[in-house]
Amino acid sequence: MQTGQGIECLIDQRVQAEGPDLWLLTSKVPFYDKDGTCLGLVGISQDISNQKEVEFKLKAAIHTLKETQLQLIEAEKLYTVGRLAAGVAHEVKNPLSVVTLGIDFLKQTVADSQDALDILNDMQAATNKANDVIFELLDYSSPHEVNMQARDINEIIRHVLTFLRHNIYDHQIELKVELAAELPSVSMDAPKMEQVLINLLLNAISVMPSGGELSVQTYTQKMQQAGANVSSKLTERFRIGDPLVVVEIKDTGSGLSDTDKEKAFDPFYTTKPTGNGTGLGLSVTQSIVDMHRGFITLDNRTNIPGACARIILPAT
């Protein structure tokens, strides 16, 4: 009324005390008398709440489709990387074996020369490192065959912790273990699940070189309503009400940067110094958890500095 200009097709949201919001499509024009005095407004409002609801659902569906498309692209990229890694590993493995045998032979022939032995030992260490990378490449890229049996995840954790007790002691790390009693069994390939736990525990130990607290916890829960996270992998793998077994491995290291959280499971991504890691450990770990119809997350702790790796597995 002040400007004398009309409003055409204004989308007006009205928040209601009870029930869903009301959406109106409104047009208004000033109404004048014969002398040109503005007496009021003439307008019409159309209820478009149903159309807006359909629009929101469509936007959510488009968002889900885009996420699915990105996941498919990522899966294809990883498959391509896997095939490439397998080809490279097989081509390099045999020549590397020849080099290793040659080093062993030369060490026997130059046993009197300490300088030559030192050089050969360095060569052997480098060759062993390359060999480790090749085996991890093959593990990452090879077709996965699993022997699934119902097992107690607590039993697997105790075995792995016993295996790593020297690593924990050498780093002066305090171990805190909280394993739930009467935990449901999980269908798993025990050796591969041990590999998952070893990778995660060694990662946790490596970020606490001056000591800290390593926490291992298990518990059971049921899949809850997903809410806004309805398109996540978690809701794709589990249905509401499904019984789940959860394993949490927490450290008191420096935590994860945004880049670390985004790329942690990417092949060849590592935060370790050159020569101390291949960047394939977490990729292999995720692949094994996927084979078990499980889900793995890696995030910062909320109450204190440090990271938390969480494995979610379906109970049998």
pLDDT in tens, 80-108: 666 666 666 656 776 777 788 888 888 88
Q: Does residue 172 share a domain with residue 273?
A: yes
Q: Does residue 180 share a domain with residue 86?
A: no
Q: How confident is the model at residue 137 (pLDDT cuts 50, 70, 90)?
A: low
pTM score over 0.85? no
How far does Cα 211 stand from its chain's mean position? 26
pLDDT score for 283: 78
Please give the residue that has the higher pLDDT: either 269 or 203.
203
Which among 114, 141, 168 is the end of a domain? 141
pLDDT score for 217: 95
Q: Does residue 128 share a domain with residue 163?
A: no
pLDDT score for 230: 43
Across 190-206, average pLDDT: 89
Assign residue 176 the CATH number of its domain: 3.30.565.10
Q: In this model, does residue 235 exceed pLDDT 90?
A: no
Residue 196: domain span: 149-314
Mean per-residue pLDDT of the chain: 82
Q: Does residue 306 share a domain with residue 206?
A: yes
pLDDT score for 180: 93
pLDDT in tens, 169-194: 888 999 999 999 989 999 998 888 98
pLDDT score for 66: 83
Please give the residue that has the higher pLDDT: either 177 or 256.
177
Q: In this model, does residue 136 exceed pLDDT 50?
A: yes
- Most confident by average pLDDT, 185-189, 220-224, 255-259: 185-189
